[in-house]
Amino acid sequence: ATRYPRPSKTRFIAVANQKGGVGKTTSTVNVAAALAKAGARVLVIDMDPQGNASTALGVPHGSGQPSVYDVIEGRKGIADIKLPCPDFPTLEVVPSSIDLSGAELELADLPHRNTLLKDALTVFLNGTGDHYDYVFFDCAPSLGLLVLNALCAAHEVMIPIQAEYYALEGLGQLIHTIGLAQSTLNKHLVISTILVTMYDRRTLLSKEVYDEVKEHYPTIVLETTIPRSVRISEAPSFGQTVIAYDPHGAGAVAYREAALEIAQRSEAALQLIQDTKK
């Protein structure tokens, strides 16, 4: 397997977009798997009550099963509930559960409600001696409490954008929310990556969407785009990423390329992204 450059310290990446169906989960699990396959130690935290990332990474998740919900509510530590992804020895998953859908309301009155995840992660990373190169947070399609928890715990945001009509609609609002999180909760937060997904080479529209994103966010958008692929969409039904399910197909190739680009973004480049936004 190709060796990608390894970060000198853990990179915490929230994958966010309040639109559903744009490829957040697919991009989280496949970039995470590609990095793990290249030798990185990776933790994926499934922050969506739907649990799609848990499904795609082949770990059990169901109502009543220990999950990130117990972590957020302070009943369990991350060390107690993380599970290995069966396909990749250096990839671990903190599963979600449908019970997490109640958390937004249950926690709304807690003064430290936005840092519950970050605090649990700090306890875990300081306590176990476990080291990760990457920690990914797969966010739900909202801008609610759970997403804010991910934005507090992260240093970077990756925004998947679907190459479709209205692709950029809502992007302004998302960037505004991230800016708000940055100014009030987490001054280290940067938008490090935009990934254009479900790209169709045969349509002018896909190219137009990419060019528009590139024009507005030239340093942030990856050169790699993810093609629309049946293999990508059917992999989760086998409890697998496309990296494991169809390693030589166009989808896996693209996600490995995207992961390499992400790995090559040095801390200096991320600093630059933060500076240019000010």
Residues binding ligand ADP (CB under 6 A): 20-26, 52, 141, 197-198, 226, 228-229, 232-233
CA dihedral 173, 179, 184, 186 (to 10 degrees): 120
Count of all residues that appear for the chain in the document: 278
The residue within the footprint of Mg ion, chosen from 18, 25, 149, 197 (CB under 5 A), is 25
Q: Which is nearer to Mg ion, 25 or 224 (CB)?
A: 25
Q: Which does 233 bind (CB under 5 to 8 A by kind): Mg ion, ligand ADP, none?
A: ligand ADP
Part in contact with Mg ion (CB under 5 A); list of ranges 16-24, 120-128, 144-152, 244-252? 16-24
> Among 17, 18, 23, 24, which residue sits at the site for Mg ion (rule: CB under 5 A)?
24
Smaller CB separation from ligand ADP, 38 or 252: 252
Judged by CB, which is closer to ligand ADP: 194, or 226?
226
Residue 19 in contact with Mg ion, rule: CB under 5 A: no
**CA geometry: angle 175, 180, 185, nearest 5 deg:** 130
Minimum distance between the CB of residue 87 and ligand ADP, rounded to whole angstroms?
17
Q: Which stretch binds Mg ion (CB under 5 A): 51-59, 65-73, 182-190, 209-217?
A: 51-59
Pick left, alpha or beta for residue 79 (phi over 0 → left; psi -120 to 50 → alpha; otherwise beta): alpha
Residue closer to ligand ADP (CB basis): 23 or 270 = 23
Residue 61 is a binding residue for Mg ion (CB under 5 A): no
Q: Which one of the spans 25-33, 159-167, 185-193, 226-234 is the region binding Mg ion (CB under 5 A)?
A: 25-33
- CB nearer to ligand ADP: pick between 44 and 270: 44
SS (H, E, C) the chain: CCCCCCCCCCEEEEECCCCCCCCHHHHHHHHHHHHHHCCCCEEEEECCCCCHHHHHCCCCCCCCCCCHHHHHCCCCCHHHHCEECCCCCCEEEECCCHHHHHHHHHCCCCCCHHHHHHHHHHHHHHHHCCCCCEEEEECCCCCCHHHHHHHHHCCEEEEEEECCCCCCCCHHHHHHHHHHHHHHCCCCCEEEEEEEECECCCCHHHHHHHHHHHHHCCCCECCCCCECCHHHHHHHHHCCCHHHHCCCCHHHHHHHHHHHHHHHCCHHHHHHHHHHHC
If binding is defined by CB under 5 A, does position 155 make contact with Mg ion? no
Q: 252: closest CA among 227, 216, 219?
A: 227
Q: Report what 23 binds from ligand ADP, Mg ion, none; CB cut-off 5-8 Å by kind.
A: ligand ADP
User: Does 18 help bind Mg ion (rule: CB under 5 A)?
Assistant: no
Based on the shown chain and the rule CB under 5 A, indicate whether residue 27 belongs to the binding site for Mg ion. Answer: no
- Residue (224 or 274) nearer to ligand ADP, CB: 224
Choose from ligand ADP, Mg ion, none: what does 21 bind? Cβ within 5-8 Å by kind: ligand ADP
26 part of the interface to Mg ion, by CB under 5 A: no
CB of 211 to ligand ADP, least distance (A): 19
Applying CB under 5 A, the residues found at the interface with Mg ion are 24-25, 52
